[in-house]
Amino acid sequence: MIFRLAIKLSIDIVRPSKWSLLHRNFDPMFKLLVLLVSAIPILLFLKNMFFSRSERFKKASADLKRQIDYLVWTILILVGLGILYSLFKLIWGSH
């Protein structure tokens, strides 16, 4: 939708019409949404520059990620073993 709007605006600048998007009254909520969307990259940049995480938080975050990785691998291994067991029972259980 934003790309269509940009294309429409660029066409209207070159060849304006009486139904041009430049002359329409946009909904105030739409204007607020556009302002918020355009402000997000600036806010993220400022947050990254001035509010960097401490070393203690970085270490705790890395430990948590490692523990979550171990949990995910454990669950995947258990699911794989369950599939192997059911295949074994399916193939050799019928004899």
- Residues 85 and 63 reside in one and the same domain: yes
CA distances from 23 to 8, 26, 35 (A): 12, 9, 19
For residue 5, what pLDDT is reported? 57
48 and 59 in a single domain? The answer is: no
pTM of the model: 0.44
pLDDT of residue 52: 76
Query: What's the pLDDT at 58?
Result: 87
Q: Which 8-state DSSP code applies to residue 23?
A: G
Residue 29: predicted pLDDT: 85
Query: Residue 9: which domain range?
Result: 1-52
Asked whether the beta carbons of 39 and 33 are under 8 A apart, the reply is: no
Residues 62, 38: one domain?
no
- pLDDT(87) > 70: yes
pLDDT value, residue 22: 55
DSSP conformation letters of 30-84 = HHHHHHHHHHHHHHHHHHHHHSPPPHHHHHHHHHHHHHHHHHHHHHHHHHHHHHH
| Residue 63 and residue 46 share a domain | no
Q: What is the pLDDT of residues 10-47, one digit of tens each?
A: 555 555 555 555 556 668 888 888 888 999 999 988 88
